[in-house]
Structure 1
Amino acid sequence: MEDHNTSKLSEPASPVASVASADIAAEFAALTAEEQEQQRAEWSQELARVEEEINTLRTVLASKTRHASDLKRKLGITMWKEITDDMNQGLKNVKESSVFQRTESVLKSTGEKTASVFGSITSGITSKFSQMKNSESMRSIEEKVGSAYENVKALTRVIQWRL
């Protein structure tokens, strides 16, 4: 009966725990006064043992922590090195995560598609300029500009000759 009641006491606070607490209270109320006193004594003893174990574990943990710090100091492992190592490990874990890899894949694919779109736009513009350059109207404009340039050049020579 002790194990059954003890396990119910350690359950988390929730609707289920409330029902369990009600069950414990009902079971406890069904006991005689002498049995209730005995149950309370058992719970008190168990609580004292658990608290003693907790204190022992805290003492052992503090001792192990000091020992680990001493060893790290002797090995030259600084707080900064630990933080750096933790950060690097965290970044490695993130990079290896499936979410990161899917995101990276999507971004890479998007980048490739964007580059492809820009490439086709650039190619289209280059093609249009090439077509324009080879068109009759563009050749006609080039000839007229060339002719005007030659006329200006000749006129400049005449003016310089007269001066």
Structure 2
Amino acid sequence: MENTFEVFSPTASIASADIAAEFAALSAEEQEKQRTEWSQELARVEEEIETLRTVLTSKTRHASDLKRKLGITVWKEITEDMNQGIKNVRESSVYQKTESVFKSTAEKTSSIFEGITSKLSQMKNSDSMRSFEDKFSGVLQKTKISSRSGSVSSFTEENNGTSTGNLDGKLQP
């Protein structure tokens, strides 16, 4: 009897149903014989699996010993894997296209900011801005009077007599 079916395939349940139907069609003596064969085969497969696990464990241990002798550490392996991964990503076409778009965008943004900076510089150096700065600084100088004591009061407070200090730095009643 042939036991060829894939466990993870969608047809696995159909194959299992076929096997069950074939098994049910056997006589009681043939069914017992088939069970015995399957049990023996299962025992052999499990023994092979255990042997393979033992060999794999031994080979893994031997590889670790060789790596230790060669000075290859886990950290070094991780670093090499990461570097290789980064290299693979950088060489990918998606990364190349994305990098190109970012560079183009950065250049355009930079030129826009340079233009704005240039315009602001031109504005700052213009006659109208200088005139505005002169007028504004004149207003500030007129509204603030500082005394020798370090206190600052407004020009209108000085004229109304509500100031707490005078130009001598003495307190007034």
- Supply the distance in 2 between the matched residues of 1:43 and 1:60 (Cα, whole angstroms): 25
1:111-130 superposed Cα distances (whole Å, 9 cap, x missing partner): 22222322333334345556
Where structure 1 has 5 or more consecutive residues not aligned to the other structure, the ranges are 146-163
Q: How many residues align?
A: 135
Q: Which structure has more RCO (C-alpha within 8 Å, separation ≥ 6)?
A: 1
Q: 2:88 pairs with 65, 88, 93, which one?
A: 93
- Supply the distance in 1 between the matched residues of 2:26 and 2:93 (Cα, whole angstroms): 56
Q: How does 1:78-157 map to 2 (within 5 A)?
A: 78-129=73-124, 132-133=126-127, 141=131
Which stretches of structure 1, 4 residues or longer, exceed 6 Å deviation after superposition?
Answer: none
The residue aligned with 1:43 is 38
Report the AA paired with residue 54 of structure 1: I
- Supply the distance in 2 between the matched residues of 1:25 and 1:63 (Cα, whole angstroms): 40
Which protein has the bigger helix share? 1
Shift of 1:61: 1.0
Alpha-carbon spacing, 1:74–1:127, altered in 2? closer, same or farther (3 Å): same
Cα RMSD, aligned residues only: 3.0
The residue aligned with 1:29 is 24
Report the AA paired with residue 4 of structure 2: S
- Supply the distance in 2 between the matched residues of 1:113 and 1:94 (Cα, whole angstroms): 26
- Supply the distance in 2 between the matched residues of 1:22 and 1:48 (Cα, whole angstroms): 24
Report the AA paired with residue 102 of structure 2: L
Alpha-carbon spacing, 1:46–1:96, altered in 2? closer, same or farther (3 Å): farther
Alpha-carbon spacing, 1:101–1:49, altered in 2? closer, same or farther (3 Å): farther
Report which stretch shifted further, 70-79 or 86-95. 86-95
Alpha-carbon spacing, 1:138–1:116, altered in 2? closer, same or farther (3 Å): closer
> Normalized against structure 2, the TM-score is what?
0.61
Where structure 2 has 5 or more consecutive residues not aligned to the other structure, the ranges are 136-173
